[in-house]
Structure 1
Amino acid sequence: MKTIRLKCSLLELIMPVLFISILWSCSDTKKNETASNVDIKIEYPSAAEDKNLDGRLILLLAEQADTEPRFQLRDDAKTCQAFGMDVENWNPNTALQFDAKAFGYPIENFSGLPSGDFYVQAVFHKYETFNRADGLVVKLPMDRGEGQQWNKAPGNLYSTPKKVTITNGKLPHLSIVLDQKIPPIAAVEDTKYIKHIKIKSKLLSEFWGRDMYLGAHVLLPEGWETHPDVKYPLAIMHGHYPKDFDGFRTTPPDPNLEPEYSERFDVEGYNRIVQQEAYDFYKTWTGPDFPRVIAIKIQHPTPYYDDSYAVNSAAQGPYGDAITYELIPHIEKQFRGIGEGWSRFVYGGSTGGWESLAVQVKYPKEYGMCFAACPDPIDFRAYCLVNIYEDENAYYQKGTFRKTLVPGHRDYLGNVDATLKDMNYRELVLGSKGRSGQQWDIWEATYSPIDKEGYPKRIWDRLTGEIDKEVAEYWKENYDLADILKRDWAKHGKDWENKIHIYCGDMDNYYLNNAVYLAEDILSETTGPYYNGEVDYGDRAEHCWNGDHDNPNHISRLRYHRMFIKKYTDKVAKIAPEGADLKSWRY
């Protein structure tokens, strides 16, 4: 009896172990099956400049062949499929086995791919090594004149798309050669009205341990050459990387231009409208009634994005100081700007909207007025639809018995076509460690402290969505613009008076109006002095609404210069010091 009981006890002990072993074996078998389904080898041909490559290898699968797969990766349901993996020290003519466990979007692993015919393409996004002044070494993509676009960056390698058939999640054996290289960007030339400048930044070069540059496209006022003694206010448009001073055209629209349909605005021939608006602006700019100012668009791409967000940050360096104390004074000196804080005003939309408010908040005496349209989240209690201080998870609203995905993008009727998780997963495919060059990663590169390697700390776990509260507190202290205004109003209120103007559609596609509501509450309660600016909303207006109640969004978004330059000159007397010259430049 004792012997039998002992045998039963041994079985009882052994069975769970055997069961777990079987599960592990099945799991390993499944992993091996997944791995065996992926036999993709990628190489690139010999070239003198392409050796020991570091970067991100991106594999794309698309149903349609009307455009290359590299141009079809999106947040919404029309996206193609992509997988990404990091690569170091890759040499030419060395076949690289694509990682079977590579993270994918929107399908996370190869075994989940649907059956059918697809077009496959590989892109290699090159990284460079930066030896930062603090001793940290990071590998990041350097902008090469395209504005940090992984699928358009000069020097990046890519393959010619080929058609493949997937059956039950299994791809055929693939040998892919990155036989194409994206060509350099052509330089732009100066004209009578538009000049292009580029300066080496001492501050940024010291931070990054290599030469770093800032640039700008400068639009000169009519009569600049014939009025050599006049000094002008400086209109600074913030926003994404400008390749030229687009929106200004000295000739009528091209009559032979093939009209293109804008899916975003549901407008036929939108390219013709853009050209007409640019020509109309030229006529307005040179007309007798328009204020004479110098207008600029800044080029300040970083190794993380197409612009720096115009503030100092731990991961990107002192871009705010470099722009404010190096670039802008250089432009004012070369092109006869007045060169005083009241005579500089900033404006922009989306990224440019946040930047405009941010520099006004961070440098209250150095800028005279800001016009922030549809700004990126200016109050992190509404970081789009996430309250980073109170919510535990960015991807889900959690209850006891269920969890609901948090929306990321909507149309003006509220129809959701992407979740926050979708948007973040797409970026995770394009780059690890915040290197995707996309929206959520640049917010971290701007607002976050750095980790021990030198990369931005995550505000939330990119796979799970769990929010890091320590990082959130760092964001609040340094970059929550609404909270900083509230915190520092007693100190800087007089410097912010009459300067802050914010505009947003109440159906902004990214829910940015929610943060504007919270900021408006703070501004409306200011005293000693009252902020005396403006906050306005567009009824059912989507992203990029800028305060224009008279025109549809696809028109008003093309009129930032003529709208905000006029607003500034109408109000400049309120912020200019006594005795300031407000007449000579109004000829």
Structure 2
Amino acid sequence: MRPMLAVFAFMLVAAAPPATVPVQLGVDTPAPLAGRIIVFAEPVKPGDKAPESIDANPFAGTLTAVAARDVRSLSKGQVAVVDADTDTVPGPWSQLPSGKYRVQAVLDVNGDYNYSGRGANDVVSPITEVSLPGALPPIGLTSVIPATDPYAAQSERGKTLAPFLAKTLPVDFVSPELSAFWGRPVHMRGWIALPPGYSPTSKATWPTVYATQGFGGNLPSARWEAASRTQLMEQGKIPPMIWVVLDESSPTGTHEFADSVNNGPWGAALTAELIPSLEKQYRMDARPSGRFLNGHSSGGWATLWLQTCYPKIFGGTWSTSPDPSDFHDFTGADIYRPNANVYVDATGKPVPLVRMNGKDVANLQDFARLESVLGPYGGQMSSFDWVFSPKGADGRPMQMFDRRTGAVDPVVAAYWRDHYDIAYRLEHNWPALKRDLDGKIHVIVGTEDTFHLDGAARKLKAVLERLGAKADVRFLPGKTHGNLYEANGDPNALLIQITKEMQAVARPGKTN
């Protein structure tokens, strides 16, 4: 998961007039622009420096109010008025505490702000200092964000990895099943890292790892990950294998390689189409004991799901910090309890979402409401609906919970349980799954996971223990969502350990 959040204290102001924000397009464009205007405001603190941009970010501790609206056609000079009392968080801007604020507007033309934030071709305004509540002058959208090279090495680590980018090979496969589902060509994409000394004419074959990334991952980040695996193999830090780093991002968030009535049959396409195609092209083991899965966060859920749904295909998953695998603990909320609500627990206490340094800093309600304001597509919660929910009468996935109240729809919750609750599926199908799945599940999560994902992992472990399953569910003391793989200054320590465990399955008795 990768949340964005507005946390703001506001008070009621009696008889305050409705707040509006006029936003004017100030750039020439070949055609009128469509998209979502998002306006951010944060209070000015005495002595603080103006930031380069204003956004909603729980990790930075910013206090940000957000208002938004869609526009269908906006040309240079035209003004769109944003109602800052309706589609807003944390509440109506007319009720904000009086004072000086810094305001910035963004026109999200790509419709992906919830997933990747500001990007190429979005139009932004300069930061303007205003007084709120009160009438505002038009805020000018005056700068178009240019496209950037996703492979430009900015950090020291990036500079170290850059030489290995050229050694990665692209995956670009048009899936017949997904194309039939969508009625247009649908590509499955990713990047391949080959082991040192790989030869397409050799008789030797290699174990293969199918890896996925977490929420926010994309095709360029998959290439960086493949380059990292190439580097580690050439350094002799991990065993030689073939890595296929898959991009699971989509306009709706992440499809997580689940077979979904909304996103399509991604799991079937991977196992029945892409993998056989790759095994014809590359010197892969092409047997279960040489096919492995590894993913983190949403990618952790995806790989855990693939292993449990297709146990005869894969020889083991190493899923780290997976999204909830037991919906009795959906990042802290039990969606099955009577009158379930994801915003508050049975006692009425807010359900926390983000934990940092042992302290809860954000709750699920604030996160979900902000996501709704930022846009209908690509957010973490809407992504879950696109993967897990039945299709509604309007053709869109039904929401598991009401974004305004947090109330759970029990019909949708039951559908989630019957189709995508991994713990439930294991518990109710274990006799049929045991032969092909026993010993193949490896789940690793930190006891201080940033999004409380250790809770669902503990419930999954309890189910596996009741079943007498041979499974490995580990909890690393003090580790969070972000530092799980690091130990003793090595950011790849857990990855090195995982690959050695994979090697022990694929090549018993061989150490390298």
TM-score (norm 2): 0.84
Q: 2:432 aligns with which of 470, 474, 491?
A: 491
Residue in structure 1 matched with residue 5 of structure 2 by the alignment: none
Q: Aligned partners of 1:467 and 1:452: how far apart in 2?
A: 18
Q: Deviations over 1:341-397 (max 9, x none)?
A: 332100122112111111001111111100111111100001111110005221123
Q: Aligned partners of 1:90 and 1:208: how far apart in 2?
A: 30
Q: Aligned partners of 1:75 and 1:84: how far apart in 2?
A: 22
- The Cα shift of 1:117 comes to 3.3
Amino acid at match of 2:396: Y
From the CA coordinates, give the structure whose radius of gyration is larger. Answer: 1
Residue in structure 1 matched with residue 41 of structure 2 by the alignment: 61
Identity percentage of aligned residues:
23
Q: 1:99 aligns with which of 80, 83, 88?
A: 83
Correspondence 1:427-506 to 2 at 5 A: 427-432=371-376, 435=377, 437-506=378-447
- The Cα shift of 1:531 comes to 2.7
- The Cα shift of 1:313 comes to 1.4
Amino acid at match of 2:480: E
Report if aligned partners of 1:373, 1:544 keep a CA contact under 8 Å in 2: no
- The Cα shift of 1:507 comes to 2.2
2:290 equivalent to 1:343: yes
Q: Aligned partners of 2:242 and 2:289: how far apart in 1?
A: 14
Q: Secondary structure of the equivalent of 1:405?
A: coil
Correspondence 1:4-15 to 2 at 5 A: none
Do the aligned partners of residues 209 and 410 (structure 1) sit closer, same or farther apart at CA in structure 2, a change above 3 Å counting?
A: same
Q: Deviations over 1:11-52 (max 9, x none)?
A: xxxxxxxxxxxxxxxxxx95xx533x425133354422x436
Q: Aligned partners of 1:284 and 1:66: how far apart in 2?
A: 38
Q: 2:195 aligns with which of 221, 231, 238?
A: 221
Report if aligned partners of 2:226, 2:244 keep a CA contact under 8 Å in 1: no
Residue in structure 1 matched with residue 99 of structure 2 by the alignment: 116
Q: 1:125 aligns with which of 108, 121, 127?
A: 108
Q: Deviations over 1:134-161 (max 9, x none)?
A: xxxxxxx479xxx941312x33x22232
- The Cα shift of 1:84 comes to 1.7
Do the aligned partners of residues 210 and 94 (structure 1) sit closer, same or farther apart at CA in structure 2, a change above 3 Å counting?
A: farther
Q: Aligned partners of 2:335 and 2:302: how far apart in 1?
A: 20
Q: Aligned partners of 2:79 and 2:357: how far apart in 1?
A: 48
2:110 equivalent to 1:170: no
Q: Which runs of 5+ in 1 are unaligned?
A: 1-28, 128-140, 250-277, 575-581
Correspondence 1:314-333 to 2 at 5 A: 314-333=261-280
Report if aligned partners of 1:397, 1:405 keep a CA contact under 8 Å in 2: yes
Q: Aligned partners of 1:395 and 1:287: how far apart in 2?
A: 48
Do the aligned partners of residues 360 and 450 (structure 1) sit closer, same or farther apart at CA in structure 2, a change above 3 Å counting?
A: same
Correspondence 1:510-521 to 2 at 5 A: 510-521=451-462
Q: Aligned partners of 1:288 and 1:426: how far apart in 2?
A: 45
Q: 2:364 aligns with which of 403, 417, 420?
A: 420
Q: Aligned partners of 1:534 and 1:227: how far apart in 2?
A: 37
- The Cα shift of 1:479 comes to 0.5
- The Cα shift of 1:426 comes to 1.4
Q: Aligned partners of 1:289 and 1:40: how far apart in 2?
A: 56
Residue in structure 1 matched with residue 116 of structure 2 by the alignment: 149
Q: Secondary structure of the equivalent of 1:463?
A: coil
2:274 equivalent to 1:296: no
Q: Deviations over 1:72-103 (max 9, x none)?
A: 44377424221122333445543222224432
Do the aligned partners of residues 396 and 180 (structure 1) sit closer, same or farther apart at CA in structure 2, a change above 3 Å counting?
A: same
Q: Aligned partners of 1:518 and 1:77: how far apart in 2?
A: 31
Q: Aligned partners of 2:21 and 2:300: how far apart in 1?
A: 46
Q: Aligned partners of 2:83 and 2:51: how far apart in 1?
A: 28
Report if aligned partners of 2:294, 2:318 keep a CA contact under 8 Å in 1: yes
- The Cα shift of 1:248 comes to 6.8
Residue in structure 2 matched with residue 370 of structure 1 by the alignment: 317
Do the aligned partners of residues 75 and 495 (structure 1) sit closer, same or farther apart at CA in structure 2, a change above 3 Å counting?
A: same
Amino acid at match of 1:406: V
2:350 equivalent to 1:405: yes
- The Cα shift of 1:227 comes to 6.4
Amino acid at match of 1:570: A
- The Cα shift of 1:482 comes to 0.6
Q: Aligned partners of 2:145 and 2:70: how far apart in 1?
A: 19
- The Cα shift of 1:289 comes to 7.8
Residue in structure 1 matched with residue 159 of structure 2 by the alignment: none
Q: Secondary structure of the equivalent of 2:58?
A: coil
Amino acid at match of 1:368: G
Q: Deviations over 1:459-492 (max 9, x none)?
A: 1110111111000000000100011011111111
Q: Aligned partners of 1:318 and 1:382: how far apart in 2?
A: 26
Report if aligned partners of 2:289, 2:505 keep a CA contact under 8 Å in 1: no
Residue in structure 1 matched with residue 471 of structure 2 by the alignment: 533
Report if aligned partners of 1:385, 1:406 keep a CA contact under 8 Å in 2: yes
Q: What RMSD over aligned residues (CA atoms) do the two structures have, in Å?
A: 3.0
Q: Secondary structure of the equivalent of 2:478?
A: coil
- The Cα shift of 1:213 comes to 1.7
TM-score (norm 1): 0.74
- The Cα shift of 1:546 comes to 4.9
Report if aligned partners of 1:308, 1:319 keep a CA contact under 8 Å in 2: yes
- The Cα shift of 1:418 comes to 0.5
Report if aligned partners of 1:373, 1:545 keep a CA contact under 8 Å in 2: no
Q: Secondary structure of the equivalent of 1:97?
A: strand
Report if aligned partners of 1:315, 1:455 keep a CA contact under 8 Å in 2: yes
Q: Secondary structure of the equivalent of 1:108?
A: coil
Report if aligned partners of 1:500, 1:533 keep a CA contact under 8 Å in 2: yes
Q: Which runs of 5+ in 2 are unaligned?
A: 1-13, 153-161
Report if aligned partners of 1:536, 1:547 keep a CA contact under 8 Å in 2: no
Residue in structure 1 matched with residue 337 of structure 2 by the alignment: 390
Q: Secondary structure of the equivalent of 1:525?
A: helix
Report if aligned partners of 2:191, 2:245 keep a CA contact under 8 Å in 1: yes
Amino acid at match of 2:252: Y
Aligned length: 479
Q: Aligned partners of 1:89 and 1:39: how far apart in 2?
A: 18
Residue in structure 2 matched with residue 311 of structure 1 by the alignment: 258
Q: Secondary structure of the equivalent of 2:345?
A: strand
